[in-house]
Amino acid sequence: MHLLTLSDLKPTRSNEPVPLVSACIQERLQLLVKQMRMGLPVEPILNNYPQFQQWVWQLKELSPTLFMPRKKLLVDIPLTAKLELNIPTRKKSFSTPTLKIVEVRANVGIVRGKVRLFEWAIRHPILSWQDRVKLWVAAEYFNLQPDDLKLIVLALHPSQKAQKVSFSWDSKQHQQTRNWLIATIAQQTNQPFQPSIARSKTATATDNLADQPDDIELARSLAKTIDEIDEVSL
């Protein structure tokens, strides 16, 4: 069993647009949002960095409830899903299953009784490969039909107007992403790629979290009590 994160899955070639800002700026914004949700003082940062002040203002405009701590939007929690790869043996009629665990960190909330993923970042308003992996993992983790899952993105920009976009998920995209994961891992390990024909059996939250550290207890609690979480209105 091998744990893989988004950094491990980064494709060597990608047709996606160049990032709008550096990873350092992106991380600072994410930390700033966390601090504001915790009620920590951030005025010195906002006063000294007008660009961050503008982005925070845009987030508040797109989603007034984002910075309300009472809303049970769980931020940056780890989710995991099992991915089984069938590695062909020397005898072509046989294959050896290899188990991988894909882990992502996601923002999870409930909208009208449905699980929703949320992203806020300085980014293009398109569905990225990272988004697809997060949606795939979330559907597996929460044992959801892909059609029941959506991603809501608050896309900020250094000089253009911010946008709020919603991306639907479905079985076709789910299966395509699973095949992409298998192909990417196979390429990185120099193993032959065997595409999956049928959607894999969804693992339960307890199965996915086996042998994982205690710091994901919050995610386990979410999976067990998801119907009791207050709805958010991002």
What is the sign of the dihedral through the CA atoms of 74, 113, 152 and 170? positive
For the chain, give the mean pLDDT.
82
Question: Mean pLDDT, to the nearest integer, of 105-111?
Answer: 93
How many independent structural domains does the chain possess?
A: 1
213 inside domain: no
| CA distance readout (Å), 171 to 80, 144, 167, 214 | 19, 11, 14, 32
Q: Residues with Cβ < 8 Å from 224, sequence gap 6 or more? A: 205
In the prediction, which pLDDT does 133 show?
A: 98
Provide the H-helix boundaries in 79-202.
129-141, 171-188
User: Could you list the residue range(s) of the whole structural domain that residue 148 is in?
Assistant: 2-7+19-193
In the prediction, which pLDDT does 111 show?
A: 83
Which range, of 123-127, 169-173, 216-220, averages the lowest pLDDT? 216-220
136 inside domain: yes
233 inside domain: no
How confident is the model over 45-94, as pLDDT tens digits?
999 999 999 999 999 999 988 988 766 789 999 999 999 887 665 555 55
User: How many other C-beta atoms lie within 10 A of the C-beta of residue 165?
Assistant: 13
Of the candidates 155, 138, 132, the one whose C-alpha atom is nearest the C-alpha of residue 63 is 155
Which range, of 15-24, 30-39, 131-140, 224-233, averages the lowest pLDDT? 224-233
228 inside domain: no
Residue 124: CATH number of its domain:
3.90.320
200 inside domain: no
| CA distance readout (Å), 179 to 64, 82, 85, 164, 184 | 38, 13, 10, 29, 8
Q: Take residue 90 and report the two structure tokens written for it.
A: 């020397």
How confident is the model over 200-210, as pLDDT tens digits?
444 443 344 33
